[in-house]
Amino acid sequence: MALYIILALGIILITLVFLPGIRRKIRRNKILKQNFNKDYLPILEKQLPYFAKLPDLLKERLKRKILVFLDEIRFEGCGGLELNDEIRLTIAGQASMLLLNEENSYFNILQSVLVYPSAYIAKTENPDGTVEESVRLGESWLSGTVVLAWDDVRHGIRNTDDGQDVVLHEFAHQLDQESGAGNGAPILHGRTSYASWARVLGQEYQELKKRSKKFKKTLMDKYGATNPAEFFAVATETFFEKPEKMKEKHPELYEELKKYYNLDPESFS
């Protein structure tokens, strides 16, 4: 009798652990079979700088990613911003560019996207109980939330070669945080990938710090010298927005990001 009880409890435990994932997979498969809303296409063509240049296979994959994103992620307008299809599609499309590496890749911890009309005030409580306020354009939380300023999102898509895009930056943080901590080491494709990743990104991060301290010109935004997590996010922005220059000046870093994203943005830049 005790054995049957243990087996029954085991089955219940397995069901509780795996059932949500099974349900999500079933729902995703259903969403992936839906027709893409034809009214969405003009918005994507207008708002996404890369969309028209993508090969047909990646263009279709991006559309599927967007459908899943819109189904699974809750959008919330903040500071009086009224959400519309343009806002949702622009953010979902830009973010999903980071997921084109694999057909079945998605944002696994992301739950919500909060959108302010412009820069917003964020409050941070210090260990001593004091509260600091800072002006921000975006942030990514380990709890599964991304916060964005809509006017900066629009600035990013209108200036596609300045190496700065708040959506690419914050959603790169989300990918990084899927490993359990935002430390510049996202979940890679196989154990053998970590050694070269650590070597190349570590060296590049230290070099950016040195050049920043000496006020020397850098391809990547000097904000990437803040810490390894910010370096990965800034490197991602540069990878997508300045692929030719990154490939020329930082070839090893470009190859690491190319392997991670399984994408070569130089081919559709």
224-253 average pLDDT score: 96
Asked if pLDDT for residue 154 goes beyond 60, the answer is yes
14-63 pLDDT, tens digit each: 544 445 567 777 888 888 788 889 999 999 999 998 888 888 989 999 99
Of 246, 91, 255, 244, the residue nearest 174 (C-alpha): 91
pLDDT in the model for residue 207: 97
Return the structure tokens found at 18: 């795996």
Contact criterion met (CB below 8 Å) for 165 and 138: no
Contact criterion met (CB below 8 Å) for 219 and 250: yes
Q: φ and ψ at 187, to 5 degrees?
A: -70, 120
Lowest-confidence region among 133-137, 175-179, 245-249: 133-137
Asked if pLDDT for residue 211 goes beyond 80, the answer is yes
Distance CA 64, CA 72 (A): 13
The superfamily in CATH containing domain 28-158 is Glucose-regulated metallo-peptidase M90, N-terminal domain (1.10.472.150)
User: Which DSSP string do the residues of 85-152 spell out, in sequence order?
Assistant: HHHHHHHHHHHHGGGTTSTT---SS--EEEEESS-EEEEEE-TTS-EEEEEESEEEETTTEEEEEHHH
pLDDT in the model for residue 206: 97
Distance CA 240, CA 152 (A): 17
At 248, the pLDDT band (50, 70, 90 cuts) reads very high
Distance CA 136, CA 175 (A): 20
Is there a common fold for 28-158 and 179-269?
no
Of 67, 161, 77, the residue nearest 112 (C-alpha): 77
Alpha-carbon distance values, 34 to 59, 71, 77, 90 (Å): 16, 11, 26, 20
Distance CA 126, CA 33 (A): 48
Cβ neighbours of 73 (radius 10 Å): 20
pLDDT in the model for residue 167: 97
Alpha-carbon distance values, 107 to 61, 80, 87, 89, 214 (Å): 15, 27, 19, 16, 37
Asked if pLDDT for residue 111 goes beyond 90, the answer is yes
Return the structure tokens found at 266: 């130089």
Mean pLDDT, the chain, as a whole number? 89
pLDDT in the model for residue 15: 45
198-209 average pLDDT score: 97
At 9, the pLDDT band (50, 70, 90 cuts) reads low
Asked if pLDDT for residue 152 goes beyond 90, the answer is yes
Architecture of the CATH domain 179-269: 3-Layer(aba) Sandwich (3.40)
pLDDT in the model for residue 25: 78
Distance CA 100, CA 91 (A): 15
Domains in the chain: boundaries: 28-158, 179-269
At 163, the pLDDT band (50, 70, 90 cuts) reads confident
